[in-house]
Amino acid sequence: MSNNETSIETLFGKAEDCTKTTLELLKLKAIDKSADIVSSFAMRLAFFIVVALFIIISNIGLALWIGDLLGKSYYGFFIIAAIYGVLAITLRSFLHQWVKVPVSNFIITQMLKSKSI
């Protein structure tokens, strides 16, 4: 009878070790996926900031140049603002298909991507 109890205790011990190992593996996989997604977003954010700064500085120069052509510098800023107003209305109309869907697809792709070791 004692041999049976020892076998069951050994079996429960191995099952407990297997469960702990599985939980640890799941935790490490979740950390890996999270780090991959955060680093991808950080890389995209850095690129976005550089592009945004380029666009802002270019727009200031363009507004000053248009204003100089029209005789008053603030005319150029009004024209650039109007262009951005039209662009904002256009983006708002297509925001779901141009931004939400690609970002959702990116996150899903990153979560489901398997790494080969």
Is 53 a domain residue?
yes
Question: What's the rounded Cα separation, in Å, for the pair 81 and 67?
Answer: 12
Helices (H) and strands (E) in the chain, counts: 3, 0
- For the segment 26-55, the average pLDDT, to the nearest whole number, is 89
More confident residue, 98 or 83: 83
Residue 35 lies in a domain: yes
Question: How far is Cα of residue 110 from the mean position of the Cα atoms in its chain?
Answer: 10
pLDDT digits (tens, 9 = 90+) for 66-83: 999 999 989 999 999 999
Is residue 32 included in any domain, yes or no?
yes
If one counts the domains in the chain, the total is 1
117 located within any domain: no
Query: Which domain does 69 fall in, by range?
Result: 2-112
Residue 71 located in a structural domain: yes
pTM here is 0.58
